[in-house]
Amino acid sequence: MNNLMASAKRFLKNKNIVTIVGVIIILILLYVGYSTQINRAVEPVSIPVATETIQPRTEITDDMVQMIDMPNVSLSENVIRSRTQIVGRYSNINSVIPEGSMFYTDSVVDAEELPDAAFAKVKSGEVVYNFPVDMESTYGNSIFPGNKIDIYMKVGDGDEEKIMIGKLIENIEVLAVKDSSGQAVFENTSERRSPAMMIFGLKTDLYLLLKKASYMGSLGVELYPVPHGGTVEEEGATQVSTQQLVDYIDAHSINIPIAEENTEDPLIPTIAETGGARNTVTITFPEGCNGTYTCTYVKDGGKPVRVTKTTQNVVYTGNGTLTATVQEENGEAHTITTNIPMTNSTNTES
């Protein structure tokens, strides 16, 4: 026993031997830890995958799902790993799940979580408009959600009444294109769907104007969309383009006053006539045109003029139109358009 203790003491006093043994122990520990991590990473995990391509808004049934083994290291945190978390739920409105694909948390939702994407995109203060279209009026189904369009109007049949054609409303953003059953035309990659309706949002006054025109078929009125061309100065804004068409619609319809909303947009500029020998109009902008906002006005459809002060006078020698805009840093525009002179005319806010 004493010999054993003496040998142990001599061994511990030998620094070289102790260092070598320590290094060996550390290497063994590193190897064991590394091996454990590798084994854990490559250990197969059973996960659900799609047995077929699943289109958006589709209820996922049991036969659409199968379980396969995958290395744990190849799975991200948002991969669904349980079959019960998938079957009976729906593919999201913006998700096509390919055959053989894993299911992700953002691609599978409950039925009550399936909003209509078009309605979700309608801006505050706008009304949803359902504009009838077909394959021809959409240029062979070439108008997509997100595109900008103008609405043109034709009046007369060319026989008893001369034909009048012009742009009624311009710069409208298409929110959705749907078929006759209400299904989005472009959300399904396996079906050929024909366009039947185009959905977009309009301010109340423009909604009523377009709706009234749509009921004037007996007067030879036709409405049709045209892809918007040229530079869009005010992102997402809509405005009346041809006053003669507006006058025609108003002359063949009765206006019911719209109750004013209690809330007003504080960024909408105001326009007032100040009179004089030359018809002077004063635009009043909110504070912040010198940096916080981009403030502009357009006279008679010309080029936008930048304004950096609160008030701006504009002189007219005859009839015309005036548009004033306040644009926020995020691109949202607050616009008012007025006919000059302002007597017996209405303003159009966008």
Question: What's the rounded Cα separation, in Å, for the pair 85 and 262?
Answer: 46
Instruction: At 25, list the tokens.
Output: 């122990």
Together in a domain, 173 and 76: no
Structural domain boundaries, residue 7: 2-40
Name the pTM for this structure: 0.48
Within a domain: 280? yes
Together in a domain, 186 and 219: yes
Within a domain: 256? no
Together in a domain, 99 and 160: no
Render the burial of 309-326: b for 16+ CB within 10 Å, e for the rest.
Answer: eeebebebeeebbbbbbb
Together in a domain, 292 and 218: no
Q: Which of 85, 113, 141 is the last residue of a domain?
A: 113
Q: pLDDT value at position 180? A: 85
Together in a domain, 134 and 210: yes
Q: pLDDT value at position 223? A: 93
Within a domain: 265? no
Within a domain: 264? no
How many domains would you assign to the chain?
Answer: 4
Together in a domain, 242 and 159: yes
CATH of the domain at 58: 3.90.1210.10
Q: Which of 80, 113, 146 is the last residue of a domain?
A: 113
Strands (E), 95-147: 108-109, 126-132
Together in a domain, 222 and 129: yes
Q: pLDDT value at position 235? A: 47
Annotate 239-278 with DSSP letters as a single string. Answer: EE--HHHHHHHHHTS---PPPPPS---TTS-EEEEEETTT
Q: pLDDT value at position 260? A: 54
Q: pLDDT value at position 14? A: 60
What average pLDDT does the chain have?
80
Together in a domain, 242 and 142: yes
Together in a domain, 276 and 197: no
CATH of the domain at 300: 2.60.40
Within a domain: 262? no
Together in a domain, 168 and 136: yes
- Segments of the chain with pLDDT less than 50: 231-232, 234-236, 262, 344-350
Render the burial of 89-108: b for 16+ CB within 10 Å, e for the rest.
Answer: bbbbbebbbeeeebbeeebb
Q: pLDDT value at position 189? A: 63
Q: pLDDT value at position 350? A: 42
Q: Which of 251, 278, 310 is the last residue of a domain?
A: 251
Task: Tell me the per-residue pLDDT of 273-327, one tens digit each, with 9 for 90 and over.
Answer: 876 556 788 999 998 898 889 999 998 878 889 998 999 988 887 788 889 999 9
Within a domain: 258? no
Together in a domain, 73 and 18: no
Together in a domain, 205 and 326: no
